[in-house]
């Protein structure tokens, strides 16, 4: 089992600086502890771990594994970690391979399930240290990874929270045709990332900070897009296999991913496990939306977590 590695102060410091610059909200209430974890193929990923105030919580009420979206990094989620820690949860997030301050070729997926496999290794190390089932929280691409992880039953999870998950994309036929050519001839070729920062949030400060963030990637490869295409189809097919309570937080005006994918996934998930809050005017990064919407999203998340923070299930060993 991979274990946390010694910090890399230079890369971790850069990541934290970028995260502080991009995350909206109040000053940092809970400082992250950076570390690194080596994957089975030797790639080192940057981790951040936040702990709740021991003065308020003698023991954490649970644990969260947070998975960020395409091209960004986990340092942008300080304000989300603050909210979770304020609810008594400890939080671990990591920069996906090829993203942020983690290792790996920039924006390259060696095979479609590589991000799923990395999450399994992060999960195993967390389970070993914390001995409890974690809540998975994923945004956008991270939401797709988290949804796949839960519905494929890679490991058992306590709950699933999806923020604007990438469960469908609007891809024109010319784009798909080019993708197929690149996937065959140059799957690792980096081409411009089509995400328009103006469509992330109604808050101009968030847009400006995203554009200025040195750790945000500006390219994508056919190998990464293929992980989306295959993963979305499989997640939709497996929605009925969900075994844990799920909250979906969806921006109805999302132009980065197609929110219809969230609707379809939700409709096919078990009715007794699913909750959804739909924000008709919300853009893609609903955790970073302009006020008052951001506060409404955080309140919905906090309320749902409080209702589900019963004593967690005893951790079961992961399958061999």
Measured CA to CA, the distance from residue 63 to residue 51 in angstroms comes to: 9
- Asked if 50 and 16 touch (Cβ cutoff 8 Å), the reply is no
- For residue 113, indicate whether it is catalytic: no
Q: Which of 139, 254, 262, 312 is catalytic?
A: 254
How many whole angstroms separate alpha carbon 228 and alpha carbon 233? 9
Catalytic residue among 73, 79, 284, 312: 284
Beta carbons within 10 angstroms of residue 307's beta carbon: 11
Contact 231, 148 (CB under 8 A): yes
Is the distance from CB of 307 to CB of 279 less than 8 angstroms?
A: no
Check 87, 140, 163, 164 and give the catalytic one. 140
Q: Are 71 and 129 in contact (CB under 8 A)?
A: no
Q: CB of 287 within 8 A of CB of 280?
A: no
For the sheet with 4-5, list strands across it.
4-5, 33-38, 44-50, 89-94, 62-67, 135-139, 159-163, 246-251, 274-279
Beta-carbon contacts of residue 184 (< 8 Å; ≥ 6 apart): none
140 is catalytic: yes
Query: In the chain, what are the helix, strand and coil shares in percent, each to the nearest 5?
Result: 40, 15, 45
Is 201 among the catalytic positions?
no
The residues annotated as belonging to the active site are 140, 254, 284
């Amino acid at each position: 089992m991979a274990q946390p590695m010694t910090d890399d102060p230079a890369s971790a410091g850069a990541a934290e600086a970028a995260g502080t610059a991009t995350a909206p909200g109040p000053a940092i209430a809970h400082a992250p502890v950076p570390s690194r974890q080596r994957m089975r193929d030797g790639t080192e990923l940057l981790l951040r771990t936040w702990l709740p105030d021991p003065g308020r919580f003698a023991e954490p009420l649970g644990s969260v594994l947070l998975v960020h979206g395409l091209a960004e990094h986990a340092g942008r989620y300080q304000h989300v970690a603050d909210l979770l820690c304020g609810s008594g949860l400890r939080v671990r997030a990591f920069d996906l391979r090829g993203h942020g301050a983690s290792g790996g070729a920039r924006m390259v997926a060696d095979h479609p399930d590589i991000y799923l496999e990395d999450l399994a290794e992060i999960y195993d190390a967390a389970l070993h240290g914390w001995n409890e089932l974690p809540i998975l929280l994923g945004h956008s691409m991270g939401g797709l990874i988290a949804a796949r992880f839960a519905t494929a039953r890679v490991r058992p999870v306590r709950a699933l929270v999806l923020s604007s998950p990438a469960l469908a994309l609007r891809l024109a036929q010319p784009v798909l045709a080019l993708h197929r050519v690149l996937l065959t001839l140059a799957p690792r070729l980096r081409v411009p990332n089509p995400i328009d920062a103006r469509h992330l949030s109604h808050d101009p400060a968030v847009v400006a900070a995203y554009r200025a963030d040195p750790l945000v990637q500006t390219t994508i490869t056919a190998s990464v897009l293929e992980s989306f295409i295959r993963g979305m189809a499989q997640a939709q097919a497996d929605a009925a296999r969900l075994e844990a309570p799920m909250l979906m937080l969806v921006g109805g005006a999302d132009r980065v991913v197609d929110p219809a994918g969230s609707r379809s996934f939700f409709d096919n998930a078990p009715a007794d496990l699913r909750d959804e809050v739909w924000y008709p005017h919300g853009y893609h990064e609903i955790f970073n939306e302009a006020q008052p919407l951001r506060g409404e999203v955080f309140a919905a998340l906090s309320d749902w977590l409080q209702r589900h923070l019963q004593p967690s299930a005893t951790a079961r060993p992961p399958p061999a």
